Structure 1
Amino acid sequence: MCKNKDVLSFKVNKIGDIEKPERVFLVESFNKTLVDPSAVEILNFLPKKFSKIGDVDYTNEIQRALDKNRNIIFPNFPILINDNGLSISSNSTLYFRDKSLLKLKSSNKGSYSILKINNVDNVKIFNPKIEGDRYRRYDTSSKIGEWGMGISLRSSTNITIYNPEVSNCWGDGIYFGMGSIDKPNFNIKILNALLWNNRRNGISIITGKEIFIDQPQIESTYGTNPQAAIDIEPNKPIDLLQQINISNPYTKNNAGYGILIALNSMLDYNKHHININILEHKDVNSKYGLRVAGVISKPKLERLEGSINFVRSNFYSEYENGEPFLFNPNYGLLPVITLEKVNIENKTDKIKDYLNSKIVEDLKMNNIFIID
């Protein structure tokens, strides 16, 4: 587990897994009356004597159902799929029942995506439940790769995912990246996500425009850096981060960060505009509630334009080594960063005076403003 034992307070069951957290935000259960009448049962594509305990690989059967139909209902039991994952087509709607589960078969791949929403438009997914292979690797001692994703969204448009639950992935719970058509994700909504015990990040946002994430609950992210609940980190200058809006994120017990923003890879010799807004963030007992990483300054690099805004952030820690936020030097090329109405509660005296005048003045010198 994480070297920093003080940061983590996990409950562990017999197989070394972490118990599913109680939901902080209420969500609706599967309701058949809300399902499109044309929706097709995946059961119709399974063999006659199918397994209901998630021990038989039905990847090919499920993919065939997804290819032939645009409205699909998953059965009320776990289904085993392999590391080829499942690809979703444009104009699809998927419904998961209360006990539905996509369970990844043991893999040794360092990179996979269980549910792939890549280069498509107009998709809705209700209540997906996904479990990675973190404790079912062929070689449990191997640390190869960090890109095993529960849900990947790449170069897709008009996507809404309601109440996803993703756990035990080798990399990230949900990943926003660039696909083969080299365009950012656009108009993506993730509502009421519950993500826990994923190895690298809960959510990674590499590129996107008009991304709305509401009430994500992300806990116990640990295993390989950065170990963040939410990591906003472009890979290259052509990635977009415009109108990234995250409201009411609840992050807890993450070995790295509640929220991490690292923009160094976006810098080049052209102007780029970003806009990130995070409202009502609450972090409990992560090592750092928030980190905005500094950048490496080089001659002639253009400063990023736009803004990064945090409004009504709340940081709680029971540990001496837990800190509300981490700011590194070298912010001269970043846009203005504003923290409005920050609340810090800590059971130790270590950060009682964290927002003293000296720190506030130091931050202002680097375009970081803390507003009461």
Structure 2
Amino acid sequence: MFGGLAVGGGLLLCTCHGSGSSGPVGGVEPPTANCAPTPTSSRVVNVKDAPYGAKGDGTTDDTAALQKAIDAVGGTGGTVSVPAGTYRVNALTSLLLRSGMTLSLDSGAVLAAIPNSADNYTILRVSGVSNVNILGGTLLGERSAHTGTTGEQGMGLRITGGAQHIAVVGVTARECWGDGFTVTDASDVTLCRVTADHNRRQGLSITGGSGIVVRDSRFANTGGTLPEDGLDIEPNSGQTVNNVLITGCVFTNNAGDGIEVGVPIAYSGLAFIYSVVIDGNTMSGNGAGSLSSGPRSGLEASNTGGHAVKNNTVQSNVGYGIYLRNGVAGTTVTRNTVTSNGRNGILEYLSSGNSITDNTLSGNGVPP
């Protein structure tokens, strides 16, 4: 039967079976967010104090001073405190966080990448460590001052290398040459109340890992090099993404999709995505000015299955509202409000075995 019909204009092109479910996906409970992490020690080191001596004056290279403070606290369960100010960072070497620590940035603290020409850089790197909290502040890329023309790997925060038990709360990443945030091959990761704004490639990329929560966050104004998504879950060959919850977030005015979930066709059988829940988010105004030759949508899934898309508001995107294409199966799409998108409200293309029910569609366009 056809499901999800309410007010006209949706033009829902799919064959639907069953009904939506609010339970776990594939029997797997969504991970739990850690939005209020606490240090395990009362130790606090201020980066401006001796012997660290960071300046935060917007002109000094503070990389060594900041790293010295991080190294002093690592493993103690204590906190590195970064007062308000602009701290210039050599993103070619990165700030490397250690296990068992909290990096706490004042709301007026900015870690600013020193302009460079590199294809690949990272302001703040969390690699192969555990039990790390990153709280507040801004990671400022250098896309407007970047002196190179190639590459797309200039990142604000990169969580990688088997890192685990990582909480990122209230952090802004903007103006990066690549992604604001990247998670790859990490587990038990929370991004809560983060903001990604005007990054060049993605707001957030998830290419590998398990137990990842993205909650109450905002991803906006991504654009400059493909895919240009607010959030992209896209493993590379040999990688798996498993058990992800995206909830309470806003994806707006990205040149690509608001959210994209997919395995590249070339990696079929070599890369995998399991149990993604996209619940209670807003995707609006995405797809304008995209470098892609095809339409970009509020949410696009491809070559994957076994996910849940529910209770979302999907409106005024240039392409489709919700687009399931090229081998999406076993996915539930239910109780979404899909309005005023440029093409179909919900389109299922070369996909089957999905449950699409109880959605409200109105004012959506029709593909040519």
Q: Point out the more displaced range, 251-260 or 142-151.
A: 142-151
TM-score w.r.t. the length of structure 1 is: 0.76
Deviation at 1:235, TM superposition (A): 0.6
Distance (whole Å) between structure 1 residues aligned to residue 186 and residue 39 of structure 2: 27
Structure-1 residue corresponding to 2:26: none
Structure-2 residue corresponding to 1:339: 333
CA RMSD of aligned residues (A): 2.6
Distance (whole Å) between structure 2 residues aligned to residue 115 and residue 45 of structure 1: 22
TM-score w.r.t. the length of structure 2 is: 0.77
Please tell me whether the aligned partners of residues 199 and 223 of structure 1 are also in contact (alpha carbons under 8 angstroms): yes
Please show how residues 84-103 of structure 1 align to structure 2 within 5 Å. Answer: 84-103=93-112
Q: Deviations over 1:112-136 (max 9, x none)?
A: 1110000001101111311001112
Q: Point out the more displaced range, 250-259 or 306-315.
A: 306-315
Deviation at 1:244, TM superposition (A): 0.8
Deviation at 1:327, TM superposition (A): 3.6
Structure-2 residue corresponding to 1:43: 48
Structure-2 residue corresponding to 1:192: 193
Evaluate the alpha carbon distance shift between residue 111 and residue 365 of structure 1 in structure 2; reply closer, same or farther with a 3 A threshold.
closer
Distance (whole Å) between structure 2 residues aligned to residue 133 and residue 327 of structure 1: 35
Aligned letter for 2:183?
A: F
Q: Which has the higher contact order (CA 8 A, sep 6+)?
A: 2
- Counterpart secondary structure, 1:63: helix
Deviation at 1:311, TM superposition (A): 0.7
Query: Percent same amino acid at aligned positions?
Result: 23
Structure-2 residue corresponding to 1:30: none
Distance (whole Å) between structure 1 residues aligned to residue 131 and residue 52 of structure 2: 30
1:143 paired residue among 144, 149, 154: 149
Unaligned 5+ runs, structure 1: 1-32, 178-183, 296-303
Distance (whole Å) between structure 2 residues aligned to residue 94 and residue 151 of structure 1: 13
Distance (whole Å) between structure 2 residues aligned to residue 35 and residue 268 of structure 1: 42
Structure-1 residue corresponding to 2:140: 131
Q: Deviations over 1:301-321 (max 9, x none)?
A: xxx6x611111121121x7x4
Q: Deviations over 1:46-87 (max 9, x none)?
A: 776x64431111111111111122321012111001121100
Q: Does 1:76 align with 2:84?
A: yes
Structure-1 residue corresponding to 2:356: 370
- Counterpart secondary structure, 2:61: coil
Distance (whole Å) between structure 1 residues aligned to residue 84 and residue 260 of structure 2: 36
Evaluate the alpha carbon distance shift between residue 364 and residue 223 of structure 1 in structure 2; reply closer, same or farther with a 3 A threshold.
closer
Q: Deviations over 1:266-322 (max 9, x none)?
A: 53279x6711111012111001101113x4xxxxxxxx6x611111121121x7x44
Distance (whole Å) between structure 2 residues aligned to residue 52 and residue 120 of structure 1: 26
Please tell me whether the aligned partners of residues 59 and 86 of structure 1 are also in contact (alpha carbons under 8 angstroms): yes
Structure-2 residue corresponding to 1:307: 306
1:55 paired residue among 50, 56, 59: 59
Please tell me whether the aligned partners of residues 290 and 324 of structure 1 are also in contact (alpha carbons under 8 angstroms): yes
Evaluate the alpha carbon distance shift between residue 364 and residue 144 of structure 1 in structure 2; reply closer, same or farther with a 3 A threshold.
closer
Distance (whole Å) between structure 1 residues aligned to residue 50 and residue 150 of structure 2: 35
- Counterpart secondary structure, 1:54: strand
Distance (whole Å) between structure 2 residues aligned to residue 207 and residue 279 of structure 1: 21
Q: Does 1:245 align with 2:245?
A: yes
How many corresponding residue pairs? Answer: 306
Aligned letter for 1:157?
A: Q
Structure-2 residue corresponding to 1:267: 268
Q: Does 1:152 align with 2:158?
A: yes
Please tell me whether the aligned partners of residues 52 and 66 of structure 2 are also in contact (alpha carbons under 8 angstroms): no
